[in-house]
């Protein structure tokens, strides 16, 4: 960050205070209020962090007005078209696209860590078969710190690196094991002759009785979903990871905290809700009925997969998802072509409707992703775990960035206290 040379003036009770305005490389400037309390005795009040930058970061940039998302300066559309997930992982972690030898080395390091400690298999048996896979993944990711003692010293950059590689390599294995456990099938070990994404699909869908044939088109669609979800700057789960990490907690515990936060329906769960809505609509002639409900202020129903806190334009991820949905349904007959038709028609009608236009409500990443995941063969309970798998690299990159930051401090928000002021303890018989 650099000092812009400008200041923000605040006047409180006749006293004037001046605060520096700092600039990043792009995006809104910030008023540096770090000395506000010391100089004025006031806090700022911003629940939901709608106007607060909690850190500086050089990883991901979003311009919600323009509908723009960039990882390390590269537009998401270009990465989705030309790159692949492990290359994007390298970019997010280290800041630049890799050379051929760097990529080969990185892929080999990830590939050689895909197996989980054999004793971790016993962990899964402790869960009920009907446990939500997110519950299992949260527990197993946190438990990694009990298995990999040699990579939990956060002050050692080598250990931080090993922990990062381990998590990126093992999260597909863990997510696939959670899925296998829920459907009562044997776990499937990773195969290192396959690429990252094909290996994940195989670990989910192969059974001892029948091999899962590799399908390049489906692997590519899965890989794009991984790329599109890999990072999204300081969202709720990423901020959770940073806050947990700011206390010095080990990296496995921090990522487990991020997974727990992602589980909430306002964050990682909307893709499931969107597919369920499209299935409920059922036929294109019922779309107007649902649009009418979404516009009715007395009806809590909202068009799932529409609208975003940051994007006030097309979510650029939704455009790529739409193309991918077309590609996947041309390869797989999931019986969902009518569902995709409904989604497209719903999008067309909503984007011509004054209600959605005036509120700048556009399709978001979740609008088409459920149709694709369903076509790939995943039940809805697996949609959020797949989001967690993809986002692991983003969480790790943000965590590493924070730990390496010299001015890093424990995260400790303040509050506006509205509870009772001091009162005297009364013995039980006097209350």
Interface residue list for ligand CMC (CB under 6 A) = 267, 270, 294, 302-309, 359, 361, 364-366
User: Which residue in 231, 308, 315, 374 is the catalytic one?
Assistant: 308
Q: Name the helix (H) or strand (E) containing 166.
A: helix 157-183
Q: How far is the CB of 12 from ligand CMC (least distance, A)?
A: 30
User: Which residue in 223, 231, 315, 366 is the catalytic one?
Assistant: 366
Q: How far is the CB of 313 from ligand CMC (least distance, A)?
A: 13
**DSSP conformation class of 149:** G
Q: Name the helix (H) or strand (E) containing 431.
A: none
Secondary-structure breakdown of the chain: helix, strand, coil percentages, each rounded to the nearest 5: 55, 10, 35
Q: Which is nearer to ligand CMC, 249 or 277 (CB)?
A: 277
By C-alpha distance, which of 114, 117, 133 is closest to 200? 114
| Beta carbons within 8 Å of 205's beta carbon, 6+ residues apart | 212, 377
What is the β-pairing status of strands 68-71 and 74-75? antiparallel
Distance CA 302, CA 291 (A): 9
Q: How far is the CB of 359 from ligand CMC (least distance, A)?
A: 4
Whether 132 sits among the annotated catalytic residues: the reply is: no
Q: How far is the CB of 300 from ligand CMC (least distance, A)?
A: 9
Query: Encoding tokens for residue 137?
Result: 């993944």
Q: Which is nearer to ligand CMC, 163 or 259 (CB)?
A: 259
Q: Which is nearer to ligand CMC, 249 or 361 (CB)?
A: 361
Q: Which is nearer to ligand CMC, 199 or 364 (CB)?
A: 364
Counting DSSP H helices and E strands in the chain, the numbers are 18, 6
Whether 308 sits among the annotated catalytic residues: the reply is: yes
Per DSSP, the three-state class of 70 is strand
For the sheet with 15-23, list strands across it. 2-12, 15-23, 30-31
Do residues 395 and 235 lie in contact, with contact meaning Cβ atoms separated by under 8 Å? no
Do residues 57 and 72 lie in contact, with contact meaning Cβ atoms separated by under 8 Å? no
Q: How far is the CB of 268 from ligand CMC (least distance, A)?
A: 7
In the bound state, the residue with its beta carbon closest to ligand CMC is 307
Q: Which is nearer to ligand CMC, 188 or 304 (CB)?
A: 304
Q: How far is the CB of 320 from ligand CMC (least distance, A)?
A: 14
Longest Cα separation, the chain: 80
Q: Which is nearer to ligand CMC, 251 or 305 (CB)?
A: 305
**Residues marked as catalytic:** 308, 366
């Amino acid at each position: 960050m650099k000092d812009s040379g400008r200041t923000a003036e605040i006047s409180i009770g006749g006293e004037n205070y001046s605060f520096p305005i700092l600039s990043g490389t792009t995006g809104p400037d910030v008023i540096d209020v770090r000395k506000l309390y010391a100089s004025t005795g006031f806090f700022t009040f911003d629940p939901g962090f709608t106007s607060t930058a909690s850190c500086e970061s050089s990883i991901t940039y979003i311009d919600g007005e323009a509908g723009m998302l960039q990882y390390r300066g590269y537009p998401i559309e270009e990465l989705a078209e030309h790159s692949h997930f492990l290359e994007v992982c390298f970019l997010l972690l280290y800041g630049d696209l890799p050379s051929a030898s760097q990529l080969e080395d990185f892929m080999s390091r990830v590939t050689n860590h895909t197996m989980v400690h054999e004793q971790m298999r016993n962990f899964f048996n402790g869960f009920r078969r009907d446990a939500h896979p997110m519950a299992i993944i949260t527990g197993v990711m946190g438990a990694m710190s009990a298995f990999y003692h040699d990579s939990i010293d956060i002050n050692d950059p080598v250990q931080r690196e090993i922990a990062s590689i381990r998590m990126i390599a093992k999260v597909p294995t863990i997510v696939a094991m959670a899925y296998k456990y829920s459907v009562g099938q044997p776990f499937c070990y990773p195969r290192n002759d396959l690429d990252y994404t094909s290996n994940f699909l195989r670990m989910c869908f192969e059974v001892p009785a029948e091999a899962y044939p590799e399908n390049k088109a489906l692997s590519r669609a899965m890989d794009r979903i991984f790329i599109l979800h890999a990072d999204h700057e300081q969202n709720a789960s990423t901020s959770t990871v940073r806050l947990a990490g700011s206390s010095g907690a080990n990296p496995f515990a921090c990522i487990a905290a991020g997974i727990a936060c992602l589980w909430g329906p306002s964050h990682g769960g909307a893709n499931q809700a969107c597919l369920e809505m499209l299935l409920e609509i059922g036929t294109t002639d019922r779309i107007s009925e649902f649009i009418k409900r979404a516009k009715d202020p007395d009806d809590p129903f909202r068009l799932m997969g529409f609208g975003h806190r940051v994007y006030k334009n097309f979510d650029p991820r939704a455009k790529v998802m739409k193309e991918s949905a077309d590609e996947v349904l041309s390869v797989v007959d999931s019986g969902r072509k009518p569902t995709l038709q409904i989604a497209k028609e719903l999008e067309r009608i909503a984007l011509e409707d004054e209600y959605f236009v005036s509120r700048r409500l556009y399709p978001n990443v979740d609008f088409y992703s459920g149709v694709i995941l369903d076509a790939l063969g995943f039940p809805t309970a697996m949609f959020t775990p797949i989001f967690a798998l993809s986002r692991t690299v983003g969480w790790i990159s943000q965590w590493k960035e924070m730990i390496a930051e010299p001015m890093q401090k424990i995260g400790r928000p303040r509050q506006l206290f509205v509870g009772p002021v001091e009162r005297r303890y009364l013995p039980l018989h006097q209350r």
